[in-house]
Amino acid sequence: MTQTFVEIGRTMDKGSRRTRMAGAVGDLWDDTNWIVRIAALLGLVLLVLAIFAPVLAPYDPVAQSLLSRLGPPLGIEGAKAGHWLGTDELGRDILSRSLYGLRLTLGVAFLGAVIGMLIGGTLGLAAGLLRGLVDDLVMGLVDIQIAVPFTLIALLAVAILGGDLQVLVVVLGIAYWEQYARITRGEVLRLREMPFIEAAQASGASGTRIALKHVLPNLMSPLVVIFTVNISNIVLLESTLSFLGLGLRPPTATLGSMVGMGRDYMPSAPWIVATPAILILLITFVIQMLGDWLRDRTDVRLRDR
Amino acid sequence: MLGYALTRIVRMAITILVIVTGVFFATRLSGNAVDFIAGEGLGADDRAKLIAYYGLDSSLWEQYRRYLYSFADGNFGISFIERRPVSTIVMERIGPSLQLLFGAIALTLIVAVPAGIVAAIHRKSWIGSAVTSMAFLGYAIPNFILAILLILTLSFWLGWLPSSGSGTWAHFVMPLIALSAALIASLTRFTRNAMLDVLSQDYLRTARAKGLPERTVIFKHALRNALITILSVLGLQIAGLAAAGNVVVESIFDWHGIGEMLVSAALRRDYPVLQFGVLSVAVAVILINTIVDMAYAAADPRVRLSNA
């Protein structure tokens, strides 16, 4: 999307800020709050599973056992004892691998989103506060970032720099920085005109103080919304790269690379891809749902409909 | 309008130059590419020969200069793996990718625009909710998982369609669905929102107050106005989404287009192919976006006034 379509409408309402982003979502979920509650609950479960993966996983995620290769999940004939969700082509326990994969997928996505927010937030803040050349430069970079499909850049970067954890996190971090930059800059430009900033200036507050004490806190709610939506985009990007074999080097597995590796065994052992695929679906579903809900909450125009 | 067009074209030129430069220096970051292709037992003599063969012996600036020239004479280097000019390889891949792309655009328009209109008109009833939910699901499902689900059901369980390859129409079905799903979902949402925007305008109330039949109001007054936005979004979104989608879908279904080429080049570190492929797709996307943007500005004066 280019700027042409991205209009940021703003309304002040009872002292809270409400931001509208283009590509608005239906009001369906507003009425059906229980779906949002289920999503939140699911999200919590996924988080707990990810955090406590080392405690919960019954096996070492990379330990191979050729005797128990390709065992189906419990309840299906031929299941290997102790492997609830079956084993993969090297006899590794799918439950354990999925838990660790979930942990890595979410961890990498969270770090990536934080990096994106730091880069985008800083540049957006600088652009909005300093204006002039800095503004032009930052917005020029934003334009370029929007113009090129990031998957291409990611392909190039990972192919050149290799499948290290650091490379992956940085690539994911710069994938969506421009969203933070745009929103931050827009909000800063709006806030600059507010009476309370004028009052701070009149009472002699320094530029840094105004930026940190008066502007930054007011940016939090729009940034939180983007951060949430962002995590699901990053999970998708990471899963796609890993699926294609361009993520971390084996045997370390994220959910995406588990699906990618298990693809060859689909006809005979579909359970290898089933668990990680379902987990990816759940993550994107939960985050999109919560993100949409957050966005609707903070959007006057949508809620009026 | 002229001013707006000029601004857009200058911005486009700058963007392309930055990307061309960025890609060049990125591919030089990783050390000498010859060491990746030649493997271990390469003698110093042969190594020097190979480096000269691929033109990697000159200074970085000299290489950059020659690289820029290559856009004039069309010599973009030789594939490390296939030992053929990369321009030839890319040309072969364009056809299959376009097939898939045009198919996806057609399918998206046919499904998404009516679905979006229905969702907007019946937004208070279950029909609207159903369409919105479907669109939500279509958007939330990653295309590689959708592709895998399709292969699992339609190929392995039901045996209706071949799981990969190209040639017959049957090979076309699953890639098309996998590529279109996200586009359809996103355009349905846009159509719905564009229609809702238009439907709440004053002139729509006037049209109804005049006593026009609802059908005329929807199709003549609302849809025509919403269509400009819808088509521009299609142009802008499709270029980006399709470029990303193609990469995944073509690799899964072994469809020999640009996307599959990019992934295998990335996996095999075939930098000349990767570099030229990324550039071609990026430039194509930027060109399409600029054209769509300008067409949109031409159709809707509000855009160029607020942006020029």
Q: Give me the interface pTM, i.e. the ipTM.
A: 0.80
Please tell me what DSSP assigns to residue B238: H
Residue A182 has pLDDT above 80, yes or no: yes
B45 CB burial (10 A radius; 0-12, 13-18, 19+): exposed
Alpha carbons A157 and B271: distance in angstroms, whole number: 11
User: Quick one: pLDDT at residue A116?
Assistant: 93
> Is residue A226 over pLDDT 70?
yes
Q: What is the pLDDT of residue B110?
A: 92
List the 69-88 stretch of A: residues with Cβ below 8 A of B: none
Q: What is the pLDDT of residue A28?
A: 44
**What SS3 class is residue A18?**
strand
Which tokens hold the place of A9? 């409408």
Category of A78 on φ-ψ map: left (φ > 0), alpha (ψ -120 to 50) or beta: left
How sure is the predictor about B32, in pLDDT bands with cuts at 50, 70 and 90? low
Question: B246 with B218: CB under 8 angstroms?
Answer: no
Residues in chain B with CB shorter than 8 Å from the CB of A240 are 142, 144, 244, 248
Which residue has tokens 């030229």?
A: B276
Phi, psi values for residue A163, rounded to 5° = -90, 55
Counting every residue written for chain A, the total comes to 305
Q: Which of A156, A174, A243, A246 is the mutation pick for testing B, counting most B CBs within 10 A?
A: A156
Beta-carbon neighbour count of residue B119 at 10 Å?
27
**Dist CA B24 CA B276 (whole Å):** 10
Residue A299: both structure tokens together: 């959007």
Lowest mean pLDDT among A133-147, A234-248, B62-76, B171-185: B62-76
Tokens, residue A77: 């004939």
Angle at which helices B258-268 and B271-299 pack, to 10 degrees?
Answer: 140
**Nearest Cβ partner of A149 from B196, B266, B285?**
B285
- What is the rounded distance in angstroms from the CA atom of residue B87 to the CA atom of residue B84? 9
Q: Do A26 and B189 touch (CB under 8 A)?
A: yes
pLDDT for A12 equals 35
Instruction: Provide the token pair at A248.
Output: 């971390």
Q: Which amino acid is at A137?
A: L
The answer to whether the Cβ–Cβ distance between B136 and A26 falls below 8 Å is yes
Nearest CB to B266 within list A23, A155, A284? A155
Q: Which of residues 7-66 of A touch B (CB under 8 A)?
A: 23-28
Q: Chain-wide mean pLDDT for chain B?
A: 81
Mean pLDDT within A262-273? 83
Distances (CA, A) of A71 to A57, A74, B113: 17, 9, 46
Instruction: Give bridge partners of residue A16 from the DSSP assignment.
Output: A13
Question: Averaged over A35-39, what is the pLDDT?
Answer: 83
- How close is the nearest chain B Cα to the Cα of A259, in Å? 8
How would residue A120 be classed by pLDDT, with cut points 50, 70 and 90? Answer: very high
Q: Grade residue B42 by pLDDT with cuts at 50, 70 and 90.
A: low
Judging contacts by C-beta atoms under 8 Å, the chain A residues touching residue B304 are none
Q: How many residues does chain B have?
A: 308
When pLDDT is cut at 50, 70 and 90, the band that residue A298 belongs to is low
> Prior bond to A73 cis, omega within 30?
no
Question: What's the sign of the alpha-carbon dihedral A73, A76, A78, A80?
Answer: positive
Chosen from A6, A155, A228, A280 to mutate, greatest number of chain B CBs within 10 A: A155
- Reply yes or no on whether the pLDDT at B46 is more than 80: no
Instruction: Tell if the CB–CB gap between A281 and B145 is shorter than 8 Å.
Output: yes
Burial of B124: CB neighbours in 10 Å, binned 0-12, 13-18, 19+: exposed
Tokens of B148: 């895998």
d(CA B291, CA B237): 13
Q: Is the pLDDT of residue B36 over 70?
A: no
CB contact under 8 A, A4 and B297: yes
Give the largest Cα separation in chain B, rounded. Answer: 87
Q: Which residues in B lie closer than 8 A to residue A280 (C-beta atoms)?
A: 142, 145
Confidence of residue B35 (pLDDT cuts 50, 70, 90): low
Helices (H) and strands (E) in chain A, counts: 14, 2
Whether pLDDT at A14 is above 60: no
| pLDDT the model gives residue B107 | 92
CB contact under 8 A, A160 and B133: no
- pLDDT for residue B24: 82
Q: Which of A103-117, A278-292, B5-19, B188-202 has the highest mean pLDDT?
A: A103-117
pLDDT of B85-125, one tens digit each? 888 888 888 888 888 888 888 898 899 888 988 888 888 88
- In A, minimum Cα distance to B276 occurs at A156
Structure tokens at A152: 């291409």
Beta carbons of B243 and A151 less than 8 Å apart = yes
Q: Report the gap between the CA of B267 and the closest CA in chain A (Å).
A: 7
Whether residues B243 and A149 touch (CB distance < 8 A) is answered with yes
What is the Cα–Cα distance from A59 to A78, expressed in whole angstroms?
19
User: Quick one: B218 exposed, middle or buried, by C-beta within 10 A (0-12, 13-18, 19+)?
Assistant: buried
| Residue B156 to residue A266, Cβ atoms within 8 A | yes
- Per-residue pLDDT, averaged over B70-82, amounts to 77
Of the residues A8, A35, A148, the best mutation for testing chain B's interface (the one with the most B CB atoms within 10 Å of its CB) is A148
User: Which of A151, A156, A243 has its CB closest to that of B274?
Assistant: A156
When the pLDDT of each residue in chain A is averaged and rounded to a whole number, the result is: 78
pLDDT for the residue numbered A13:
36
- A283 vs B302, residue with greater confidence: A283
Interacting residues of B162 by C-beta distance below 8 A, sequence separation 6+: B155, B168, B170, B171
Task: Provide mean pLDDT across the span A219-235.
Answer: 85
Query: Which residues of chain A are within 8 Å of residue B18 when distances are taken between CB atoms?
Result: 144
- Statement: residue A115 has pLDDT above 60: yes
* CA neighbor of B245 nearest in space, from A146, A151, A232, A261: A151
Backbone phi, psi, residue A70, to 5°: 50, 40
Task: Indicate the range of A10-14, A279-283, B131-135, B202-206 predicted with least confidence.
Answer: A10-14
Contacting residues of A for B232, CB less than 8 Å apart: 5
Question: Between A4 and B190, whose confidence is greater?
Answer: B190
CA distance A236 to chain B (A): 7
B132 closest CB neighbour out of A28, A159, A285: A28
Q: Name which residue leads in pLDDT, A8 or A287.
A: A287
CB atoms within 10 A of CB B279: 20
At B37, is the pLDDT very low, low, confident or very high (cuts 50, 70, 90)? low
- The predicted model gives A8-31 an average pLDDT of 39
Q: Over 90: is that where the pLDDT of A76 sits?
A: no
Which chain A residue is nearest to residue B145, measuring alpha carbons? A277
What does the pLDDT average to over A137-147? 85
Query: Are the C-beta atoms of residues A200 and A78 closer than 8 Å to each other?
Result: no
How many A×B Cβ pairs under 8 Å?
155
Phi/psi region, residue B270 (left: phi>0; alpha: psi -120 to 50; beta: rest), is: beta
Residue type, A183: I
Considering only CB atoms, B27 lies closest to which of A160, A236, A284, namely A160
Of the ranges A4-13, B70-79, B280-289, which is most confident?
Answer: B280-289
Does pLDDT of B236 surpass 90? no
B77 to chain A nearest CA, in Å?
17
Percent with pLDDT over 90 in chain B? 1
Say whether A149 and B140 touch across the interface (CB within 8 A).
Answer: no
A4/B189 Cβ within 8 A? no
Q: If you search the block for the tokens 């895998």, which residue do you land on?
A: B148
Pairwise CA distance, residues B119 & B111, whole Å: 12
Mean pLDDT of B240-259: 84
| A44 token code pair | 């919590």
Q: Give the residue from A4, A43, A11 showing the smallest Cα distance to A287.
A: A43
- Positive or negative torsion for Cα A237, A238, A241, A242: negative
Over range B294-303, report the average pLDDT.
74
Q: Is the pLDDT of residue A99 over 70?
A: yes
Best mean pLDDT range from A265-279, B156-170, B232-246: A265-279
Percent of chain B with pLDDT over 70: 90
Higher pLDDT, residue B75 or B130: B130
Asked if pLDDT for residue A193 goes beyond 70, the answer is yes
